[in-house]
Structure 1
Amino acid sequence: MNNFSVFLQESLAKQQDNIQSYTVATQKVWLKKATARHSTWIYTPLRWLARLFKLNALTPIPNLGGTQAIQCEIQRIEALKALGVSVPQILATQPEGLLTLDAGQQYGLPMYQLDQTLAQCPDPVKKFQYFRYALDAIQHIHNQNSYLSEAFARNILVDEQFHFIFIDFETDPGRVLDIATCQARDWLCFLFSTVRAFDEQELQQVSEMICTCVQNHPAVYQHIRDVGNKLRWANRFNFKRIGHDGQRIQQCLLFFQILEKYRPSQLPTA
């Protein structure tokens, strides 16, 4: 048993929070501890919405919590690492928790959540670079017939040299959805969590960048298009009046309009 395994075993019983950082042998590490299963009732509204509109891409993926969530995270990290995807480095595992190296130490530079990086970046050119490279990183995963878990920008870490690390794998959409739907879900999560960082003029370019990524994947494109088609009725409302989430919805609706221009030739026009 190495030092990290000993530290994990000794710290699990003491730690109160779900996740906490420590310094072990001069290295910053994170200990994630198994917690109680998330109540399934919180997924009910979205599950009904997905069934009502027959939109599998919106199907909520329950977090089973406890040791199942920890094992899911370990398995997903190991599977993505085998594909060459940048994920947290696992230092030690137990059924009740896992210890990972701090993302900043993997590349030697501080890393920040992508949503905050985009929102706070003062240079429009560099902001688009962060976005472009994030798209490339996600597309690299998809091209290997894989997917993320919760592809929100808060679960994507980046440094100033455009190194990316993907985190948070307590759920596995592949257990309930096919690959194309999982990948469509990745793009929808990413879109919803990043559009607010761009103004209306920039959004046109951002939307076209995402559309180009899915254009050569007809099944993925169709899943995303289905969501847009089912939400056409929402174009009559001004969601900007209901705050930040409303602004995100309004911007996503614009994306779905632009998406139609990138319809793969293999798909029908109707």
Structure 2
Amino acid sequence: MSEQHPDPFTEGLTFSGQRITQFVAIAAAGRQLHKQLRQRLRDARHAKEEAALKRTEALRKAALEEARARWSPAHDREWLRTANLVEVGQAWAAALPYANELTSAGSAVGKCEDRLRELHPYGMERYDRLRDDGTDRLAAMKEAAPFFNHAPHTRTGHAPVSRPALTEGDGTTWAANPHGPSRSEMEEAVRRERARQIAADLRSRCKARGHDPSPIELRTMLEITTNLPEEVIAEAVPVRAASSSSGIATSEGALADEGFPLTIDEALTAPSTWSAHQSSARRTPVQVPDRNRRRNL
């Protein structure tokens, strides 16, 4: 016979409330045990019974170490960040009996309550109200346990936060819209500065060896030794203007255009047209023998 779960979400929330009630009971039992052991220690010291004193002290230390093992994970940020409601509740219940005596236990209780506020803000809101009214932690959690049966983000019905309406626009725009550099612009500036520094270092090394590299050589070295984009390298190592035969400063790109006047499309179609023209021009004429001419003897 299979179990039916018509509303698993509600059942899960009810289970959470029941677990909180169990944690409260565990914390109450731990506090009661702690009080009993302390009373037995006082009685044994008053009666000067060494055997009873040793047994009670051993029981107290064992209970303390067991509780410490349960609340210690609460001091781990990674554990606390991923812990669920059950795990956090167990740590809270273990640390609560010792919260007023041990700093570690008191800190663990506070961290567990902060995590519970993230997991179930609705239930912890009731708990915080009771604490503000002066109720101790155990009684406040016991009274707030039924609120954990509801959804964590249940609407309380309080008045919403007032938000003024936006005024209707009249078409006015800002005359200027200054803004700071974006993240991509900052990264681009860092890459450009890095390219300039590397280029200056490479130029210094080459000059120390007696060679002054040209901008083209520097660009090639940057492309080989770095992973900088081509546009960054081109901006970091600008090509200097070269003087032509006429004495007018001409960039190397313009000189290349003059030395190779064809476009890319013309260069691709040139071999088929030029080869036929050049082969016909270079072809030697075939000499046809004149059979009617007599050989000179």
**TM-score, length of structure 1 as denominator length:** 0.25
* Structure ranking higher on relative contact order (CA contacts 8 Å, 6+ apart): 1
Give the number of the structure whose residues are more often strand, by fraction: 1
Give the number of the structure whose residues are more often helix, by fraction: 2
**TM-score, length of structure 2 as denominator length:** 0.23
Max radius of gyration: which structure? 2
